[in-house]
């Protein structure tokens, strides 16, 4: 199922040490596998809700978890679960994510932004660099903007191929995402439409904002809106901060 398990105990302990200390919020662990991190999280005093999509792995977790501490095993696809209901309130997330569904999982988590305290994920290094990129950088894109809207992300450290079994073909990194992000100050009234608008702005990255926005407004209106926001007519989406996207969004008819 695209999983690469953290077989190296030293790296697992280093990850654990980098996480926020045991707190009242439960931890939802995504992709618990054989319990590589589940056991460490629970034995450190955290309440853990371990989600595993593979039925065989979930069954193995249920057999072992009773001796680890306060652990609940949920067998199912994280993209289909009501995480807010499962947590029962505010929660934190740890996950060693299958690389090919990192973005869908993050968007699933952002749907619970009002309940989330933080997200801590092991993901492909290339995706991690996109998530933390600043405006004007080549890696800056829609995923960057969405992650910064909901969180304050940072790369904690990179993890070598040999820490996993089987070893992946790409390098990995642990990313810490503290909630809230710029969402708390931008006060966007319709978040779904705002993110869809940012997606439109990044629709074709090599094209200018003017070209990408022609699908939602007339060209003369685009000129006026860009000028009113202090932007050049040849501005590109990767140059804009979230504040500038929000200012543009308010001008959309």
For the beta carbon of residue 138, count every other beta carbon within 10 angstroms: 10
Structural contact between residues 132 and 158, judged by C-beta atoms closer than 8 angstroms: no
CA distance 208 to 196: 17
CA distance 37 to 190: 37
CA distance 120 to 205: 28
Q: What is the DSSP letter of 208?
A: -
Q: What is the mean pLDDT of the chain?
A: 93
Greater pLDDT, 156 or 100: 156
For 106-116, write each residue's pLDDT tens digit.
999 999 999 99
CATH number of 187-249: 1.10.8.100
Structural contact between residues 121 and 103, judged by C-beta atoms closer than 8 angstroms: no
Q: What is the pLDDT of residue 127?
A: 96
Give the mean pLDDT of 9-36.
Answer: 93
CA distance 136 to 63: 50
Domain residue limits, the chain:
5-184, 187-249
Q: Above 60 in pLDDT, residue 212?
A: yes
CA distance 88 to 39: 22
Q: Above 80 in pLDDT, residue 191?
A: yes
Q: What is the pLDDT of residue 205?
A: 77
First to last CA, the chain: 44
The crossing angle, in degrees rounded to 10, of helices 191-201 and 142-150 is 150
For 145-187, write each residue's pLDDT tens digit.
999 999 999 999 999 999 999 888 899 999 999 999 999 999 8
Statement: 5-184 belongs to CATH 4.10.80.400: no
For 37-47, write each residue's pLDDT tens digit.
999 999 999 99
187-249 matches 5-184 in CATH topology: no
Give the mean pLDDT of 130-145.
Answer: 95
CA distance 10 to 140: 32
pTM confidence score: 0.94
What is the per-residue burial (b if ≥16 Cβ within 10 Å, else e) of 10-40? Answer: ebbeebeeebeeeeebbbbbbbbbbbbbbbb
């Amino acid at each position: 199922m695209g999983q690469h398990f953290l077989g190296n105990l030293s790296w697992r302990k280093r990850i654990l040490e980098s996480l926020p200390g045991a707190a009242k919020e439960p931890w939802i662990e995504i992709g618990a596998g054989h319990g590589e991190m589940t056991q460490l999280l629970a034995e450190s005093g955290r309440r853990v809700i371990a989600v595993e999509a593979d039925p065989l792995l979930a069954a193995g977790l249920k057999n072992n978890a009773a001796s680890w501490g306060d652990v609940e095993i949920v067998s199912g696809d994280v993209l289909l679960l009501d995480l807010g209901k499962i947590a029962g309130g505010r929660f934190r997330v740890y996950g060693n994510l299958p690389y090919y569904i990192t973005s869908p999982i993050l968007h699933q988590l952002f749907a619970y932004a009002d309940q989330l305290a933080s997200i801590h994920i092991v993901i492909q290094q290339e995706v991690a660099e996109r998530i933390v990129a600043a405006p004007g950088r080549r890696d800056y894109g829609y995923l960057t903007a969405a992650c910064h809207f909901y969180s304050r992300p940072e790369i904690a450290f990179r993890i070598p191929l040999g820490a996993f079994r089987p070893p992946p073909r790409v390098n990995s990194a642990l990313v810490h995402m503290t909630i809230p992000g710029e969402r708390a100050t931008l006060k966007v009234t319709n978040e779904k439409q705002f993110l869809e608008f940012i997606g439109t702005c990044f629709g074709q990255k090599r094209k200018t904002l003017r070209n990408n926005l022609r699908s939602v407004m007339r060209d003369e209106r685009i000129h006026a809106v860009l000028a009113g926001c202090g932007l050049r007519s040849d501005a590109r989406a990767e140059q804009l901060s979230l504040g500038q996207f929000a200012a543009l969004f308010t001008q959309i008819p």
